[in-house]
Amino acid sequence: SVEMDEVLRILKEFLRDFRKLRDDGPPKEILDVRDNSKDGEYWEALTHIIPEGTLRLWDALGTALLEYHKVLTRRAELLSEATILQKQNS
């Protein structure tokens, strides 16, 4: 059990040690163990993870959805105008 007056001292020690660990970075042993020789190949492979055909399909769908949005927006405008004209006529 920790006494009330010890809590502040323990927190200060923890923060001091935590800052030291963060500033020093990972231990040298961990840095030496990791083999990063294939990192470039890994990231290059990730740039081709989605097939070209799928990307073209998404582009086409995006274009079609923008056109559909334009049609719906124009239709909403015409409907609003028709409603105003109906009110004027009645």
Full domain range(s) for residue 8: 1-34
Query: What is the average per-residue pLDDT within 73-84?
Result: 96
pLDDT score at 2 = 67
**Residues 57 and 83 occupy one common structural domain:** yes
Q: Looking at the 3D structure of the chain, how many domains does it have?
A: 2
Considering the domain boundaries, does residue 44 fall inside one?
A: no
Total-model pTM: 0.47
For the chain, how long is the longest CA-to-CA vector? 86
**Residues 55 and 83 occupy one common structural domain:** yes
Considering the domain boundaries, does residue 9 fall inside one?
A: yes
**What does DSSP assign to residue 37?**
T
pLDDT of 79 strictly over 70? yes
pLDDT single digits (tens) 19-77: 766 666 666 666 667 788 899 999 998 888 899 999 999 999 999 999 999 999 999 99
